[in-house]
Structure 1
Amino acid sequence: MFSWLASIAAACWGPVRKYARMRKDEDEDDALLWSRDLGRHSAGEFSIAVVQANEVLEDHSQVETGPNATFVGVYDGHGGPDASRFISDHLFLHLMRLAQENGTISEDVVRNAFSATEDGFLAHVRRTHQIKPLIAAIGSCCLVGVIWKGTLYVANVGDSRAIIGCLGKSNNIIAEQLTRDHNASVEEVRQELRSLHPDDSHIVVLKHGVWRIKGIIQVSRSIGDAYLKKPEFSIDPSVQRFRLSEPLRRPVLTAEPSIHARVLCPQDKFLIFASDGLWEHLTNQEAAEIVYNYPRAGIARRLVRAALQEAARKREMRYVDLKKVEKGIRRFFHDDITVVVIFIDHELLLGSDASVPELSIRGFIDAAGPSNFSVLDNI
């Protein structure tokens, strides 16, 4: 096993820096790793990091900062980057529009922002389906966090995950999961699918040791994946990967998010938002302890590095060798990984800090533009 992996790695050690625009420490030689080590948001500081594994990066992400609110989005695409990129371009704008129309941010506002984004992407699929049929098989998990007026709203479809690090009575850190993994590997999800589709014996199928919906996809909720939601987007049956055993009679996936609202308290110290590429290699508690025990600057990059080290160990290779493997082939070792860490400083949480700029930071792109948080100023 090791010799085979080592030969792949050796073949791919050519220069790959041209593939990513990034900011890195001088001692960091992973050309596919990007990070923004520390920035400010309305209630503290944040750190973000992304590592690419696929030939085309399918993870998209953003942090939106302003004097009175903070927004985090992690979008883990599958089948291509179209859906995750679309979410990054539209969901936050929908949220701001709906917040302005309703005069508040609430669970319903967040839910409706997901719905508007789903409707928009399906309309895009409808416009382009004839010239790009496989766009109907492109989708994305979607994980969103909003901090506004001392309350945290977390919403997700798919298996990206958010956890909160809380200080225990003995000054130990306790990881609490805020989201539900919408993945067929979870028994509760399989039971839910079977109860929703009692007449479909193939709604979940164990295929090559992995539970999949209709034998095709693991996540039970997503933005996109139109061919598993609407019969009009069925894909040519000659494409084996997306072949349904029978015509689609009703949607087998949904874009309905799970939403969690929480008033932040002094024991809540930080949040970790990450695509499932991180959670494949680190437990919730392991990730929380890393954040708690190391300096803030570069902490998202440290979490990504810990996951990569574990991925290398599982493949019986050295981490130093894994870092030299090129995109595309890198996917044999780990997935695209996005991590955003949000630190919560409670003295800032309920007060406005006008010195926090309105910025939009996009993961893996070394640029920050103006955000659109000003629409909340009069709410």
Structure 2
Amino acid sequence: MSMIRSMYRCFGRRGGDGLMWQMELKPHASGDFSIAVVQANSSLEDQSQVFTSPSATYVGVYDGHGGPEASRFVNRHLLPYLQKFSSEQGGLSADVIKKAFHATEEDFLHLVKRSFPVRPRIASVGSCCLVGAIANNVLYVANLGDSRAVLGRRSPGKVVAERLSNDHNVAYEEVRKEVKELHPDDSAIVVYCRGVWRIKGIIQVSRSIGDVYLKKPEYHPFGNIGPMRRPALSAEPSIHIRELRSDDLFLIFASDGLWEHLTDEEAVEIVYTSPRSGVAKRLVGAALQGAAKKREISYDDIKKLEKGVRRHFHDDITVIVMYLDNQDQDLFSPSNRKSNKKGIFTSPPMDIYSNT
């Protein structure tokens, strides 16, 4: 896994928004991809990466909360584990994915144990995790939390949005029911607090990496959160496996900052009707327009806000758009490498783009 640790900055232009970065189209084995990120928090808590090779493409979007430490940790560990276990077990599978998530969670628990005496706040940081992988024309999507993957596929005369991940957020009744059934002896496991449903009155997502104080109460640094006989949050990912088809056009992987302001259908329509160049940035811009409209101000006004203050108007937002229209072409063949004017595949044979 030495090559996956060699990381390249993926973001270029900031455009008119000093807190937005984007990377325009780059090739992967099934088409092109584009990334855009806008910061709202004092420290960027979103992390993202795309790993490409001749045989597989991996995508990761990690939305941290309570601080950036957990999402940065996941960014360094999850995909290396995924590729390691995939190689050891002869390919991707649901078991390989679960094993990679479990190993990442265990490593973070060890970090918390070592750091807690001098940095107790480390027990209160966590991260949602969204991972996509394409290998042998099969798409794997795994997630914890409420980042989301949506597929745009062709239908007669239109494009259809197909959600490929589960939102593990107690704002949804079915998630509240799931959490309550797992904690029948805790009447306060989910409470309505400050206008929203929250687990233990604290957090909305029901699955994450980290948040150790809600999984092991001896690490709670801020006082008693009440009796907890078992972890309040889970690190078990939901996994969707699907063969790619000829009518599958593109994938959108994004942190919940996008989905707070755009529906699945709106996001898919924007990608479908927009030029490819800068398409991820266009999605972020549409979300920011929505955020501005809700607060009855202009997007130009939002762009003037400093990080930290800006969090009162929208969250950090990360978007990765992956086109799927070259599924039968080998973009890594020598002829295609030669024709690639950007020279992205000249060396090494595996590249990773990461906003660390």
Q: Does TM-score exceed 0.5, indicating one fold?
A: yes
Superposed displacement of residue 248, structure 1: 2.6
Does residue 186 (structure 1) correspond to residue 172 (structure 2)? The answer is yes
Distance change >3 Å, CA 21–CA 106, structure 1 → 2 = closer
In the aligned structure 1, how far is the partner of 2:209 from the partner of 2:91?
24
Distance change >3 Å, CA 137–CA 312, structure 1 → 2 = same
Q: Any unmatched runs of 5+ in structure 1?
A: 1-19, 238-242, 366-379
Asked if structure 2 preserves the Cα contact closer than 8 Å seen for 1:44 and 1:348, the reply is no
Aligned to 1:362: 354
Aligned to 1:235: 221
5 Å-filtered alignment, 1:311-322, equals: 311-322=291-302
Superposed displacement of residue 169, structure 1: 2.0
Aligned to 2:211: 225
Asked if structure 2 preserves the Cα contact closer than 8 Å seen for 1:48 and 1:341, the reply is yes
Distance change >3 Å, CA 350–CA 187, structure 1 → 2 = farther
Superposed displacement of residue 360, structure 1: 0.8
Look up the equivalent residue of 1:58 and give its one-letter code. Answer: E
Percent identity between matched residues is: 57
Aligned to 1:267: 247
Taking only aligned residues, the RMSD between alpha carbons, in angstroms, comes to 1.6
Q: Report the number of matched residues.
A: 336
Distance change >3 Å, CA 145–CA 220, structure 1 → 2 = same
Aligned to 2:50: 63
In the aligned structure 2, how far is the partner of 1:341 from the partner of 1:148?
17
In the aligned structure 2, how far is the partner of 1:133 from the partner of 1:351?
47
Asked if structure 1 preserves the Cα contact closer than 8 Å seen for 2:10 and 2:354, the reply is no
What TM-score results when the alignment is normalised by the length of structure 2? 0.91
5 Å-filtered alignment, 1:68-83, equals: 68-83=55-70
For residue 267 of structure 2, the aligned residue among 287, 296, 307 is: 287
Where 1:348 maps in the other structure, the secondary structure is: coil
For residue 23 of structure 1, the aligned residue among 1, 7, 12 is: 12
Does residue 195 (structure 1) correspond to residue 181 (structure 2)? The answer is yes
Q: Any unmatched runs of 5+ in structure 2?
A: 1-8, 338-344
In the aligned structure 2, how far is the partner of 1:165 from the partner of 1:75?
22
What TM-score results when the alignment is normalised by the length of structure 1? 0.86
Aligned to 1:339: 319
5 Å-filtered alignment, 1:88-167, equals: 88-167=75-154
Asked if structure 2 preserves the Cα contact closer than 8 Å seen for 1:312 and 1:333, the reply is yes
Asked if structure 2 preserves the Cα contact closer than 8 Å seen for 1:68 and 1:352, the reply is no
In the aligned structure 2, how far is the partner of 1:92 from the partner of 1:280?
27
**Structure 1 stretches (4+) deviating beyond 4 angstroms?**
349-352
Deviations 1:307-332 (A, max 9, x none): 00110111111111111111000001
In the aligned structure 1, how far is the partner of 2:229 from the partner of 2:329?
48
Superposed displacement of residue 84, structure 1: 0.2
